[in-house]
Every structure is written in C-alpha cells, then in structure tokens.
Amino acid sequence: IAVLVLAFLVFGVPRIRARSSVRSAGDELFEADDRRDAAAMRRAADAAAADARWNEAIAERFRAIARSLHERTLVATLPGSTAHDVARRAAVPLPEHAASLVHAAHEFDAVRYLGDPGDRDRYRQIVALDLEVQRTRPQLTPGDAPPLDREPFARVEP
C-alpha cells in the first residue's frame, strides 16, 4: 500500500495535470511560441499549397487572417483563442464577412483536428477571404477597442 501511495504521489498527480493542460491547449489557434507575423504565415501557406499539402495550407492561411486582424488591432487573439473565437469577434468590425469567417473557422477545424485533407478549391476560398478582409475597412466607432470575451483589467472611469 505504501508503494502504491508513493507511486501515486510521485507519478500520478503530475501526469494527470500534464494531460489536462495538453487537452485544453489543443484547441488553440496558435502555438504558444508562434510569433510569426501574418505575412510569414501567408508565405508558409503558399509554400504548403505549392506542394499540395492542402490541410497545412488552409490552416496556415486561416492563422494569417487571424494574425492580420490582430495586427490591425481589430481582434485581440488571447492565449487560448480558437478559430471560432476569432471569427465571432471579427464579426463586430467586419460584419459583411461574418458568415465567411465562421465557414473558414470550420475549415480550419476540419483540417487541423478532424483529419480532413483539404483541397485546392477550399484553399482558394480562404485566400480570397483573406484578400477581402485585408481590403475591407472596419466598421468601428471612435474609442472602440478590439472585442474581447473578458476584460483583462478593470475599467477606470475618469
């Protein structure tokens, strides 16, 4: 019994925590150490497409859209953000692209987590959306901030 208790204390608790943190991190749009800008992600997507690696190309191009929205300060991509989080938040400043962004988030999930191989046509749709989003002027009012699900800091009124 003492050996079992000792083994549980030494090996059981850390492994349970490690597995649960991996599961929650699996749905994230970006890896924790991914610091590339949108242009680098677009280049990676185009390189994958040139080699007919459609699942990688689609995932990278959606990441480029999300990173571009973040760089334009339209959407804050917080740690743990998912493709659907980004699509939902991007609908506020870009309402004309809301449905297309949700569809693109579904495509991202399909190729990233469901084993879908993707294809050229679906990649071209994501590329077209990326170009449209880049050209679209956001609908913001003065003082708007990137939409967040939660405020990281309390708001102080002057």
In Å, how far are 26, 118, 131 from 79, measured between CA atoms? 12, 26, 25
Q: How confident is the model at residue 81 (pLDDT cuts 50, 70, 90)?
A: confident
CA distance linking residue 108 with residue 102, whole number of Å:
10
Q: How confident is the model at residue 158 (pLDDT cuts 50, 70, 90)?
A: very low
Encode pLDDT of 25-67 as tens digits.
444 556 656 778 899 999 999 999 999 999 999 999 999 999 9
Encode pLDDT of 115-150 as tens digits.
898 999 999 999 999 999 999 999 876 555 544 444
Encode pLDDT of 87-121 as tens digits.
999 999 999 999 999 999 999 999 999 989 899 99
CA distance linking residue 91 with residue 51, whole number of Å:
32
Query: In percent, how much of the chain has pLDDT > 90?
Result: 51
What is the predicted pLDDT for the residue at 149? 47
What is the predicted pLDDT for the residue at 18? 39
Q: Is the pLDDT of residue 15 over 80?
A: no
What is the predicted pLDDT for the residue at 25? 40
Q: How confident is the model at residue 22 (pLDDT cuts 50, 70, 90)?
A: very low
Length of the chain measured in residues:
158
What is the predicted pLDDT for the residue at 30? 63
Q: Who has greater pLDDT, 6 or 39?
A: 39
What is the predicted pLDDT for the residue at 3? 76
Q: Which residue do the tokens 């870009």 mark?
A: 94
Q: Which residues contact 4 (CB under 8 A, 6 or more apart)?
A: none
Strand, coil or helix: what is 136? Answer: coil
Q: Which residues contact 76 (CB under 8 A, 6 or more apart)?
A: 70, 89, 146, 147, 148
